[in-house]
Structure 1
């Protein structure tokens, strides 16, 4: 049996807890799974890994195509996704998800050409649809540091396309630490919570 969400309390005045709903069918049909926090395995919650539509009620989420937060990552922000093409999915298979930290106040990212924070570097405080257009000479990033309370999405292609990887506050000494297949990154944007 799919477990319902129980994260809202009547009369609460704080911002709503992150909530996302997965549907087996397109356009929000079929069985559904409501999630209010990290979910290591959809199957453990009684839901098959087949997902064809998603509704993000609050927060921002990173979804993975395998359990245990592994595999291809997809970032989903507040809104409706009636089919997997809307979240740049390559199929209807998802296995786990977790909420992402939100931008609140100052947040910036420092990227490095070399592993272990070596070589040329650049700091960003705003979205960048094409790093090479901002003076970044390479099409790769081998290390980075995320500062402040927020998260960023790294894209392998310009204009926020291609494989994506979510990074939150911390230091990442090489591309393996953010689960990338290669160091290729050509655009970066902040994760924003539109409630």
Structure 2
């Protein structure tokens, strides 16, 4: 299947497919003339560009860095020809085995569709049996105390949610993105615990920033993060954070 300027040409069978996990941040991508993101001619984009030459980028693209969002690069002008989906990450060489992209190759971000006026922005279903069996109840807003359902499985249909094993949004937290959670183990819920309250996460579209402090009241050794860190020691922070300040983002 090829998508051209005159529509879709089904010249072969679709062999595989998957859904795209898009983030909520403002899209940003950098195109580089050289491979491995080397210094040289480059351009930073935040919106769709039907022709790169119109933005003064009259060169080929040999490496790409997607800082945020999900982008689609096209092989021909006006968003036509073969497509290459670029998710967050670094592409140090050409994409999809191509020798190079055309000077005029367009690129655009995939934007999240706004929720309609009659649709809930957040939606989660709770079941009292594992594997989505038994009685169920649906929530579209926060609830400081769950009804006596004893939920053991969840389906997150819209948005992201935080579940708590105590009432009034206290105790251990379990962050759930859109998807199916057939039992409490799939949440990471501790043995012997149950879910007692829940609320949706209101997305912050600004650039994320968080401060970690080794002492209470935002004092002591400070570490400011603007992106995820799998291990604080690997980035030279050996303290145990005793206070946290979220500057922006979630």
Per the normalisation by structure 2, the TM-score is: 0.50
Find the counterpart in structure 1 of residue 127 from structure 2: 23
1:127 equivalenced with 2:228 (yes/no): yes
Q: Secondary structure at the match of 2:163?
A: strand
Distance 1:144 1:14, change over 3 A: farther
Bigger Rg, structure 1 or 2: 2
* Equivalent residue runs for 1:152-167 within 5 Å: none
Find the counterpart in structure 2 of residue 168 from structure 1: none
Unmatched runs of 5 consecutive residues or more in structure 1: 1-10, 152-195
CA distance in 1, matches of 2:229, 2:129: 34
Find the counterpart in structure 1 of residue 139 from structure 2: 35
Specify which of 141, 161, 176 is matched with residue 76 of structure 1: 176
CA shift at 1:96, angstroms?
0.8
CA distance in 1, matches of 2:188, 2:130: 15
CA distance in 1, matches of 2:218, 2:193: 37
Specify which of 135, 153, 161 is matched with residue 61 of structure 1: 161
The number of equivalent residue pairs is 135
Specify which of 173, 183, 186 is matched with residue 86 of structure 1: 186
CA shift at 1:57, angstroms?
0.6
1:97 equivalenced with 2:198 (yes/no): yes
Find the counterpart in structure 1 of residue 214 from structure 2: 113
Is residue 52–residue 92 contact of structure 1 (8 Å, CA) maintained in 2?
A: no
The structure 1 segments of at least 4 consecutive aligned residues displaced by more than 2 Å after TM superposition are: 11-16
* Equivalent residue runs for 1:167-182 within 5 Å: none
CA shift at 1:56, angstroms?
0.5
CA distance in 2, matches of 1:126, 1:62: 20
Specify which of 218, 222, 238 is matched with residue 137 of structure 1: 238
CA distance in 1, matches of 2:133, 2:222: 47
Find the counterpart in structure 2 of residue 146 from structure 1: 246
CA distance in 1, matches of 2:193, 2:152: 5
After superposition, the CA RMSD in angstroms is 2.0
- Structure showing greater relative contact order (alpha-carbon pairs closer than 8 Å, 6 or more residues apart): 1
Per the normalisation by structure 1, the TM-score is: 0.64
CA distance in 1, matches of 2:236, 2:118: 42
CA shift at 1:131, angstroms?
0.6
**Per-residue CA shift, 1:16-53, capped at 9, x if unaligned?**
5111111111111111121101111112xxx42x2211
